[in-house]
Amino acid sequence: MLRVKGLNAYYGGLQVLFNINLEVGKGEIVAVLGPNGAGKTTLLKSIINVDVVKTGKVELEAMDITSLPTYKIAELGVHYVPDYGGLLPGITVLDNLRLASNTRNPNLSELEEFYPELRNLLWRKADVLSGGERKIISIIRYLLANTKLLLLDEPTEGMSPVMVDRTCKLLKELNAKKGLTILWVEPGAKLRKVLEVADKIAIMTAGGITYFESAERARREIDRIKERLFI
Quote the pLDDT of residue 170: 93
Question: What 3-state class would DSSP assign to 111?
Answer: helix
CATH code for the domain of 95: 3.40.50.300
The CA distance from 231 to 226, in Å, is: 5
How confident is the model at residue 1, as a pLDDT? Answer: 95
Instruction: For the chain, report the end-to-end CA distance as a whole number of angstroms.
Output: 31
- Measure CA 215 to chain center: 17
Helix (H, G, I), strand (E, B) or coil at 2: strand
Q: Is 199 exposed, middle or buried (0-12, 13-18, 19+ CB in 10 A)?
A: middle
pLDDT score, position 83: 87
Q: Taking Cα atoms as reference points, which of 75, 126, 74, 118 lies closest to residue 96?
A: 126
Confirm if 152 and 166 have CB atoms less than 8 A apart. Answer: no
Q: Are 151 and 79 in contact (CB under 8 A)?
A: yes
- Determine how many CB atoms are found less than 10 A away from the CB of residue 61: 13
Q: How far is CA 98 from the centre of its chain?
A: 21
Instruction: Work out how many domains the chain is built from and give that number.
Output: 1
Tens digits of residue pLDDT in 32-86: 999 888 999 999 999 999 989 999 999 999 999 999 999 999 999 999 999 888 8
The angle formed by the CA atoms of residues 213, 74 and 136, to the nearest 5 degrees, is 70
In sequence order, which residues have a C-beta less than 8 Å from that of residue 218 and are 6 or more positions away? 195, 201, 211, 225
Three-state SS for 112?
A: helix
Quote the strand ranges of 12-135, DSSP E.
14-24, 29-34, 53-60, 63-64, 78-81
Q: pLDDT tens-digit profile of 195-208?
A: 999 999 999 999 99
**Rounded (5°) CA angle 170-72-204:** 55
Provide the domain limits for residue 217. 2-229
Chain-centroid distance of CA 77 in Å reads 13
The mean pLDDT values, 10 residues at a time, for the chain of 231 residues are 96 93 96 93 95 94 95 94 88 94 89 93 92 91 91 90 91 93 92 92 94 93 84 70
